[in-house]
Amino acid sequence: MIFPEKKKKKKMKNTIKSVLIISTLLLVLGCSNSDDGGGDGNGDGNGDVPKAASLVFPLKDAECNQGEILSDTESKVPFEWNAAEFADKYTVSLTNLETNTTETFDTDKTLLDITLLRGKPYSWKVISKSNSTMQTGTSEVWKLYNAGPGVENYAPFPAELISPKMGVTLNATNVDLKWQGSDADDDIEEFKVYMDVINPPVKLIATQNRSDISNVALEANTIYYWQVETTDKHGNSTKSSVFEFKTQ
C-alpha cells in the first residue's frame, strides 16, 4: 500500500526528471543549430570565401585601342575577367591615375562595358563577392592607357611605391626605398626620387634608371615624405603619389 504522501513525492520526482530531460534535449539541439556552419543569407554564415578573379582585358600596362568611340573625349571599353570560384557577383574598381579618383561598378557578369576618358591612364581591379559570406577576393591591379586621338606616345604610368609603406614607423638610421615603374610604350628613361620633411617633397636625392635606392640616411623622431617622378625617352613624365613614414 502506497500512502498519499509517498505518491506525491514520487510524482514530483518524476516531474523534475522530465524537466531535466527536456532541458538537456533543448540544449543539445541549440548547440547543434549554432555549430552547423549554415549561413542565414545575410552574410553572417560560414560560406565558401570567393577566390580572386584573374583579369583578361584590357591588357596589363598597355595601350587600349579597342571599344566604341563615343566622342573626341570618351570611349566605351570592355572589361573582362575570368569567373572566380565561389563568387556570385563582382565589383570593378576603376581609378583615373591623373586625378586619383576611383569609381566602382557592380555586376554579376564577367564582362562589363565602362565609359572612359580618351588618352588617360587608369588602373583597375575586380573584387569577387558571395551571397553567403562577407569575405571577398581581390584580383591583381592592372594599368592601362585608353587610346586617344592623335596620341603617338604616352607618358609613363605613375610609379607604384612599394617600400617603405604608407604611414609606417621605422626604428632605423637608414632606409631602402623601392618602387615599380611601368609604361605602355616601354620606354622609361629615368626615375627622379624626392625625399623631404615637407609635403610635397622637393629635395631630389637621386636620378637613376633603377627602381630602388639603398641606405638612405635618416634622422630620429622625424616625419619623411617621398615621391618618384618617372620620365620616358620622349620627355613625358608623371609623378607618383606621396608616401610618408616616420622614425623613432
User: Between residues 38 and 2, which one has the greater pLDDT?
Assistant: 2
Instruction: Kindly state whether residues 83 and 104 are assigned to the same domain.
Output: yes
Residue 151 has a pLDDT of 77
Domain membership flag for residue 39: no
CATH number for the domain that contains residue 104: 2.60.40.10
User: Between residues 246 and 8, which one has the greater pLDDT?
Assistant: 246
Instruction: Kindly state whether residues 164 and 205 are assigned to the same domain.
Output: yes
Q: What percent of the chain has pLDDT over 90?
A: 77
pLDDT in tens, 59-92: 999 999 889 999 999 999 999 999 999 999 999 9
Residue 152 has a pLDDT of 78
- Which of the listed residues 146, 171, 188 is the one where a domain comes to its end? 146
Residue 13 has a pLDDT of 52
Which residue do the cell numbers 594599368 mark? 143
Tell me: pLDDT of 150 over 90. Answer: no
Tell me: pLDDT of 8 over 90. Answer: no
Instruction: Kindly state whether residues 129 and 188 are assigned to the same domain.
Output: no
Q: Tell me the mean pLDDT in the region 103-123.
A: 97
Comparing CA positions, the residue from 34, 46, 147, 130 lying closest to residue 87 is 130
Residues comprising the chain, all counted:
248
Instruction: Kindly state whether residues 125 and 204 are assigned to the same domain.
Output: no
User: Between residues 219 and 36, which one has the greater pLDDT?
Assistant: 219
SS (H, E, C) 175-230: EEEEEEEECCCCCEEEEEEEEECCCCCCCEEEEECCCEEEEEECCCCCEEEEEEEE
As a whole number, the mean pLDDT across the chain is: 87
Tell me: pLDDT of 55 over 70. Answer: yes
Tell me: pLDDT of 6 over 80. Answer: no
Tell me: pLDDT of 94 over 90. Answer: yes
- Which of the listed residues 101, 124, 146 is the one where a domain comes to its end? 146
Domain membership flag for residue 3: no
Burial of 116 (0-12, 13-18, 19+ CB in 10 A): buried
Distances (CA, A) of 122 to 100, 102, 114, 125: 9, 9, 12, 10
Domain membership flag for residue 35: no
Total domains present in the chain: 2
* Beta bridge partners of residue 232, listed in sequence order: 188
Tell me: pLDDT of 26 over 60. Answer: no
Residue 106 has a pLDDT of 98
**144 close to 59: Cβ distance less than 8 angstroms:** yes
Domain membership flag for residue 71: yes
**Domain range for residue 82?**
55-146
pLDDT in tens, 164-213: 999 999 999 999 999 999 999 999 999 999 999 999 999 999 999 999 99
Say how far residue 75 (Cα) sits from the centre of its chain: 26
